[in-house]
């Protein structure tokens, strides 16, 4: 009991030494270079934890409405175990543009996206569910992402 209390106290004491003061003023320079320009295109972010598999799914939105009229939002999916020494991670560009992402929820094989897509026969977008399957039946991360429209 005393050993665990001492360990907890030591962890708290050491972590407080390693954390810089929050009130300190810092001058931060902008990120220059072509590799950073892509961050400026991100206009939306969603994250869900797939608890059964241990993976986190992150959906990034990139709005291209300045150059694309219908379904201008491109989607990118990052799936990661957030590991440091045992990192497992995949990134895909979803081959479907959308008008709006309404929700991201966990599905058995990955995630479901509730999205609005522009309809050619109506002025109002229609709502669809896209299923993004990145897990095998054994719960392992796949190399190939399967994208399907799910009937509601």
| Closest by CA position to 78, among listed 114, 48, 117 | 48
The Cα 24–Cα 72 span in angstroms is 41
User: How many structural domains does the chain have?
Assistant: 1
- In which element (H, E) is residue 18 found? helix 2-18
Cβ atoms of 105 and 112 closer than 8 Å: yes
Contact 57, 47 (CB under 8 A): yes
Residue 32 lies in a domain: no
Residue 134 lies in a domain: yes
In-domain check, residue 50: yes
Q: Which one, of 99, 148, 151, 94, lies nearest residue 125 by Cα?
A: 99
Written as tens digits, the pLDDT of the chain (152 aa) is: 333 433 433 343 334 444 455 667 889 888 888 888 878 888 899 999 999 999 999 999 988 776 666 778 899 999 999 887 899 999 999 998 898 999 999 999 999 999 998 877 777 888 999 999 999 999 999 999 999 999 76
Range of the domain at 144: 41-150
* Residue 128 within any structural domain of the chain: yes
What is the H or E stretch that residue 119 is in?
A: none
Tell me if 77 is assigned to some domain: yes
Task: Check: CB of residue 58 under 8 Å from CB of residue 78.
Answer: yes
User: Would you state the structure tokens that stand for residue 142, as one six-digit string?
Assistant: 């796949």
Give the closest residue to 99 by CA, choosing from 131, 133, 64, 149.
Answer: 64
Q: Residue 50, SS3? A: strand
């Amino acid at each position: 009991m005393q050993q665990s209390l001492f360990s907890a106290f030591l962890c708290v004491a050491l972590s407080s030494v390693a954390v810089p003061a929050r009130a300190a003023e810092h001058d931060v320079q902008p990120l220059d270079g072509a590799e950073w320009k892509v961050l400026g295109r991100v206009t939306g972010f969603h994250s869900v934890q797939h608890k059964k598999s241990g993976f986190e799914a992150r959906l990034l939105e990139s709005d291209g409405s300045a150059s694309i009229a219908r379904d201008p939002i491109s989607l990118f999916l990052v799936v990661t175990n957030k590991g440091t020494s045992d990192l497992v991670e995949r990134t895909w560009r979803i081959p479907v543009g959308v008008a709006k992402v309404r929700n991201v929820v966990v599905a058995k094989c990955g995630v479901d996206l509730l999205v609005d897509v522009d309809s050619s026969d109506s002025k109002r977008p229609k709502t669809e569910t896209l299923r993004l399957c990145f897990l095998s039946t054994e719960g392992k991360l796949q190399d190939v992402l399967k994208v399907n429209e799910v009937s509601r």
